[in-house]
Structure 1
Amino acid sequence: MIFNYKNISTLLFTLLVFSQLSFSQKKDSKKKGEYTSSQLQEAEAYFTEGMKFYMMEDYERAVPSYQKALEITPDNSGIFYALSNNYQKLKEEDKAILFAEKAVQQDPENANYGELLADLYVRKHKYEEAAKVYQNLIAQNPSKAEYHVEQAAVYIFDNQYDEALKSYDRAERIMGVNEEVTRQKQMVLMKIGKVDDAVKEGEKLVSSDPEEIEFSIDQAELLMSNKQSEKAIPYLEKILKLNPDNAQAHVMLAQLYQEKGDMEKCNRELELAFADNNLDATTKARILMGYMSMVKDEKSRETAFNLVKSLVKQNPNDPKSHAIYGDLLLQKGDEKGARDEYVKAARLDKSVNEVWGNIINMDFRLKQVDSAIVHSEEAIEVFPNQSAFWYLNGSAYYQKRNHAKAVESLEEARRLAPEGSDLTQHIYALLGDTYNSLNKHEKSDDAYEAALKENPSNDHVLNNYSYFLSLRKEKLVRASQLAELLVEKHPDDATYLDTYAWVLYVMKDYKKAKPFLERAVELNDQKKNKSGVIVEHYGDVLFQLGERDKAVEQWKKAKIVGTTSTLINQKIAEMKLIE
C-alpha cells in the first residue's frame, strides 16, 4: 500500500482531522447524546479508512468511508470538515461548501473550519458570504492580521474598495507598516484614482526603512508614471547618496532628463549606469532596451549605439546584447548587419522566438529567400508548435515556386494557428494562392472563402480570388461582388480597378468595364513601375466596343511599357483581338 505525502500541509491536515474527531466526540456528545464505546470505535475505524484513501489521493473511495463514520456520529464536525476537504479535491465545490457550512454550524469557534469555508466561498465568487465568515473569524481572533488581509482581498474581488482599504488599515494597526499590505493599498488607491494617497502610502513605506533602496526606487517609479517626475528626483538623489553606483537610479534620472529635453545630462547618467562593473551584461542590455525606446535625437542614438558596441565587444557571448545591437543597426538602415547580429543572438540562445522572427523577416527584406527557408526551418525545430514559423516557411517555399512544400507548411500553420488569430486569414490567403498555382481550384476557392470568413475585407484575397475566378470564367457573379467591394474600398488603386474591369470584361459587360480601365490607365501612367497588362486590357475593351484603332494604339503603348501577355505582338500585327 503506497501513501503519497505530497506536502507537509496534507499530513498536518490529517493529524488535525484525527485529533478533531476525538475532540468533537467529547464536545458534541454532551449536546446530542452519548455514544457507546463500540460505536466510537467503529466510527473511528471508518474515519481512519477514509483518511487512508485521502492520503492515497483516492478521493472517490474516501467518501463512503467518511459517510459511514458520519452515520454513526451524525453530529461530528470533524467528519464534516474531512468531507468538505475531500469534495474540494474532487472539485465538487457545492458539496464541499455544504459540509464546511455544517462544520462551522456545529463548531463555530473552530478557525480551521471558518478558513476553509471562506476559501470555498471565494472560489464560488460568493464574496459577501466570504466577507461575513472573515468577520466572524476576526471577532474571535481580532489580533490576527492575516484575517484582515484576507478579508480585504475578498472586498477587492467584490469591488468594495473602500471596505478593502479599511481592512488593510486594521491589519496595519496590528502589524505596523508592511510591504505587502502597502503594495495592495497602493494598487487599490490607484484603481480608484487616488494617486496622491497611493504616493503617501509609498512614503510611509520608505520612512519605515530609509535604507531599503527598492522602496525608494518604487516610489520614484510611481511618481514618474503619474506625471510627478520632479518629485521623484529627491528619491533618486537619496539612492545615489546611499549607493553612487546604483545603475537603476542613474537610468531613471536619464529618463527624467530626457523628458525635460536635457539630453546631455541624460546621456551622462546613462554612461554612469554603464560604468558599474558589477552590473551584468543582461541587465545592461535590458537598460539599453528601455533607453532606446526613449531616444529621439541623433546624438542620443549615437550614444546608445556606442554603448551597445562596447557591450557586445565586452560580452561577445551575451545574446541580448547582440539582439539589441541588431535593433540599432536596423534603425540605422543596415538590414544585413542587423540580420547578422540577430543570427549571433540566436546561435547563443535559441529560445527567443522574437529573434528568430527578426532573422526571417530580414531574410525576406534582403530578398534572400533560401536563407528564409533555412532559418524558418531552424526556428521550427525549436518552436514546432508556433504557427508563425510554419507560415513564414510556407511563404518562402511559395516564393521559390515549390508549391508542394509550401502547402505542407501552410497546412501545418493552419492547424496550429490559435482560433481567432489574425495570422489565420493570411495563412488561408496564401493557401488560396498556392493551391491555385497547383491548379487545385476547389481547394483554392475553399481557402479564399475561409480567409474572407476571418476577414471579409482582406484586400489580397478580394483581388486574387476574383481575378483567378475571372481567368477560369467560373463563379463570375461572386468574382464581381468581391472585385466591386475592392474598388469601393480603394477607388484610386490601378491594380484593383483593373481586376474589377477584367471581371466585367469576362462577363461581357464592356461598357461598364471601360470607365474603370480608363481610370486605371490614368493612375498607371502616374506610377514609377507601370503595368503593361492594364494598358493591354484597356485596348481589349476598346476593341470589343468597336474602337479598333484606339485599341491598337493602346496595345502598342502596352508593348512599350512591358509586362504584357504573350499575344501582344500578334494583336498589333493583325490589328485584332487574339484570345
Structure 2
Amino acid sequence: MCLFLGVTVNTVFSQEIEPKQEVNIDDLGNVSDEFQELFFEALKQKAITNYDKAIEALEKCVEIDANSNFLYLELAKNYLELKLYEQAENNFKKVLETKPNDKFVLEYLFEVYFQQHKYKESTAVVEKLVQHNSMFKEQLANLYFLEKRYDEAIVALDELDDEYGVDKYRNRLRKRISSKITNPNSQINRLEQKIKEKPEVEQNYLNLIYLYSKSDQKEKAFKTAKSLLNKKPKSELVHLALYKFYLGENNIKQAIHSMQIALKSNKTDIESKYKIVSDFLSFIDTNPEYESQLTTIISLLSNGQNNGKVFTELGHYYYKKENKEQALNFYERSIKNNANDFALLKRILLLQLDLKRYEKAQIGSELALEMYPAQPIFYLVNGVSLIHLNKAEEAVEILAIGIDYVIDDHKMELDFYQQMSVAYQKLGDTTKASEYQQKVNQLQNKS
C-alpha cells in the first residue's frame, strides 16, 4: 500500500507502506476447522473487495477466539478500505497493545489519521516510525509544517541532509517551510553555527543565503555567497544567488559570468534556469543597451532538455518587441515540450501565417485540430493555409466545417466568410464568392 498523501493535496510523501504478508495456514496455530474456514473465507472476500462480508467472517472468528491478534489486524485493514476510520483505528490499537512498535501497524495507523487530517495524531505515530527508519523524518517535516511547527520541521530536514546528503525534494520543502517563518533568526543562528562547525558543507551556505535574502539582509546574503565562493571556487549553485547581486549593483560582466555557470550546470533545475532568463529579460527591459548579451544567455540553452518554459518566455520577449521571426523561433522550440498548450499553438500558427510559412501552418493546424476539434481558429488557419497553397477546394471544405463552431464571435465569423469568398474566387465560382462577400459586408455594417 503506497501513501501519496498531500499537504491538503499538494505535498507528496516519498515513503511507502510495505505490504505485510497475509496470514497463511501455518500462522493460525491450533484452531478449529470452523475458525480456519471462516478466516480464509474472510481473506477470499477481501481479495474480491467484499469488505463487509470479510468483516462478518472475521467477527465470527473473534467470537470463537478473541485472543488471536491477527484478527484485529485483518479487521482494521478491511475497515480502512471502507473508510470506516474509527473502527479501523480501534482495531489497529488492539494489535499495538501487544506489539506497540510494530512498523507495519504504525504505518497503517498513520494512514488512518492522515486521511482524516488528524495531523497531531499522525505526528505522534510518525515520531515512532522514525525509530524504524530515519527517512520517515521527511513525513515528519511535512507534518510539522502542517502543524505550523516550522523550526522542528527544519531540524528534521537538517538531520536528513546530514545523514543522507542534499535532496532536491527536501530543498523545495525547506523553502516552502522557510517561506512561512516570520522570524527566521533561530534558523539563521543555527546555520551560522553549522557553518562554523562544518565550513565545507555547501548546502548550509546556500540555505543561509536564502534566509538572509528572504529577511531582506541582502548585504549579509551577498557576503555569505562570496564566502562560499572563496571556500569552494568550483561551486556552481552559488551563482544562482550571485548573478542577482551583480545585476543589482549593475556589474553586468560578473552577472553574465554567473548566469553562464548556473545555466551550464547540471545541478541547476529548469525552474531556476527559467528564473535566470526571466530576471535578465526584466533587466534589459529597463537597460536595453545590454540586449546584445542575451545572445550569450540563449546559446547556453540551445542543447538543453525540457527548456520549454524558458523558450516560451524568450518568445514572449521577442513578440513584445515585434521581432516575429525570433518570437516564432522560440515558440516553436517551446512547443516540443508543450504540445497541447492551446494559447501557444494558436500564437505559433498565426505567426506562421503572418510570416507566410503556409506549409508549416497547414500541418500544424491539422495536428491542432486532432487535439482541439471544436476550436474554429484552427479551421480558419488551416483554410487560409490551403488557399495560399493553391488547394482552394480543400479550403472551402475545411472552412465550411469550422464556421459551424463559431459562436457569438462576429469578428471570426467575418474572417471565415472573407476566406470562403477568396477560396471560391480562386475556384472561379464568382457567384459563391460574391455571396460570401455580401455576408462580410453585412457583418461589417452591423459592427
TM above 0.5, yes or no, is yes
- Larger mean Cα displacement after TM superposition, 81-90 or 323-332: 323-332
- Of the three residues 351, 357, 369, the one matched with 1:362 is 351
- Of the three residues 409, 412, 417, the one matched with 1:430 is 409
* TM-score, normalised relative to structure 2: 0.63
Q: Distance in 1 between matches of 2:266 and 2:116?
A: 49
1:375 aligns with 2:364: yes
- Of the three residues 47, 55, 72, the one matched with 1:80 is 72
1:14 aligns with 2:4: no
Aligned length: 389
Q: Distance in 2 between matches of 1:407 and 1:306?
A: 46
**Which runs of structure 2 are paired with 1:411-490 in the superposition (5 Å)?**
428-430=407-409, 434=413
Cα displacement (A) at 1:291: 4.3
1:119 aligns with 2:111: yes
Is the alpha carbon distance of 1:215 and 1:292 closer, same or farther for their aligned partners in structure 2, counting shifts above 3 Å?
A: same
Cα displacement (A) at 1:120: 0.6
1:109 matched to which residue of 2? Answer: 100
Secondary structure of residue in 1 paired with 2:60: helix
1:458 matched to which residue of 2? Answer: none
Is the alpha carbon distance of 1:152 and 1:322 closer, same or farther for their aligned partners in structure 2, counting shifts above 3 Å?
A: closer
Q: Distance in 2 between matches of 1:176 and 1:246?
A: 18
Cα displacement (A) at 1:254: 1.6
Q: Distance in 2 between matches of 1:122 and 1:337?
A: 50
Q: Distance in 2 between matches of 1:316 and 1:165?
A: 37
Cα displacement (A) at 1:132: 6.3
| C-alpha RMSD of the superposition | 5.3
Cα displacement (A) at 1:405: 2.4
In structure 1, stretches of 5+ residues that fail to align are 1-7, 23-36, 411-426, 439-467, 473-494, 500-532, 534-579
Cα displacement (A) at 1:379: 3.4
Is the alpha carbon distance of 1:310 and 1:241 closer, same or farther for their aligned partners in structure 2, counting shifts above 3 Å?
A: same
Cα displacement (A) at 1:124: 1.3
- Of the three residues 200, 203, 220, the one matched with 1:231 is 220
1:526 matched to which residue of 2? Answer: none
- Report Cα offsets for 1:231-280 as digits up to 9, x if no partner: 22244334434553544433431211112333343234335657x69899
Cα displacement (A) at 1:229: 2.6
Secondary structure of residue in 1 paired with 2:20: helix
Q: Distance in 1 between matches of 2:320 and 2:159?
A: 55
Q: Distance in 2 between matches of 1:270 and 1:196?
A: 30
**Which runs of structure 2 are paired with 1:86-485 in the superposition (5 Å)?**
86-104=78-96, 107=98, 109=100, 111-112=102-103, 113-130=105-122, 153-154=142-143, 156-157=145-146, 160-162=147-149, 165=151, 187-188=176-177, 190-203=179-192, 210-241=199-230, 243-271=232-260, 286=274, 289-296=277-284, 297-309=287-299, 312=302, 315=303, 326-327=315-316, 329-343=318-332, 346=335, 351=339, 353=341, 356-363=345-352, 372=361, 374-381=363-370, 384=371, 390=375, 392-394=377-379, 396=381, 404-407=400-403, 410=405, 428-430=407-409, 434=413
Contact 2:195/2:204 (<8 A) preserved? yes
Q: Distance in 2 between matches of 1:305 and 1:278?
A: 20
Q: Distance in 2 between matches of 1:176 and 1:236?
A: 20
Q: Distance in 1 between matches of 2:380 and 2:372?
A: 17
Contact 1:220/1:236 (<8 A) preserved? yes
Q: Distance in 2 between matches of 1:304 and 1:46?
A: 74
Contact 1:17/1:78 (<8 A) preserved? no
Contact 2:366/2:382 (<8 A) preserved? no
Letter paired with 1:430:
D
Contact 2:123/2:140 (<8 A) preserved? yes
In structure 2, stretches of 5+ residues that fail to align are 1-15, 385-394, 418-438
* TM-score, normalised relative to structure 1: 0.51
Is the alpha carbon distance of 1:173 and 1:38 closer, same or farther for their aligned partners in structure 2, counting shifts above 3 Å?
A: same
Contact 1:118/1:134 (<8 A) preserved? yes
Cα displacement (A) at 1:73: 1.6
Secondary structure of residue in 2 paired with 1:261: coil
Cα displacement (A) at 1:127: 3.8
Secondary structure of residue in 1 paired with 2:408: helix
- Report Cα offsets for 1:387-425 as digits up to 9, x if no partner: 7xx3531554798896532245x4xxxxxxxxxxxxxxx
Q: Structure 1 vs Structure 2: percent identity of aligned residues? A: 16
Cα displacement (A) at 1:13: 4.0
Cα displacement (A) at 1:284: 10
Q: Distance in 1 between matches of 2:323 and 2:102?
A: 67
Contact 1:186/1:201 (<8 A) preserved? no
Secondary structure of residue in 2 paired with 1:191: coil
Q: Distance in 2 between matches of 1:295 and 1:100?
A: 59
Secondary structure of residue in 1 paired with 2:322: coil
Q: Distance in 2 between matches of 1:151 and 1:219?
A: 22
- Larger mean Cα displacement after TM superposition, 68-77 or 286-295: 286-295
Cα displacement (A) at 1:343: 3.3
Cα displacement (A) at 1:373: 5.3
- Report Cα offsets for 1:158-201 as digits up to 9, x if no partner: xx424x645876x6999896678998677545424123333344
Higher-RCO chain (CA-CA 8 Å, sequence separation at least 6):
2
